[in-house]
Amino acid sequence: MGKPVIAWDNLTFSQVMDNTSGVLCKTHDVQSLACGFAKIINGDNFDQALVKASVKPYYWSSIWYKWKQYLT
């Protein structure tokens, strides 16, 4: 945990991440993807605590109660 993510900038990923948790690359653009890898490899700083905090709302321990309410 705490590692930045490289993902396509599409509806799914743009809803769950931003520039504090990783790099969103133009969808299906290999050059954009390569630039995303370069940002991380070359040391663009990502605050590990912010990266971890950005995914916490999606932990099962955070969402199970909501699912339980929907299903009962």
Q: Which pLDDT score, from 0 to 100, does residue 69 have?
A: 85
Per residue in 47-71, pLDDT (tens digit) is 778 777 877 887 888 888 888 888 8
CB of 21 closer than 8 Å to CB of 52: no
pTM of the model: 0.66
| Exposed e or buried b per residue across 48-68, where buried means at least 16 C-beta atoms within 10 angstroms of its C-beta | eeebeebeeeeeeeeeeeeee
Q: How is the chain split into domains, by residue range? A: 5-71
Per residue in 1-40, pLDDT (tens digit) is 567 889 999 988 888 887 778 899 999 999 999 999 998 8
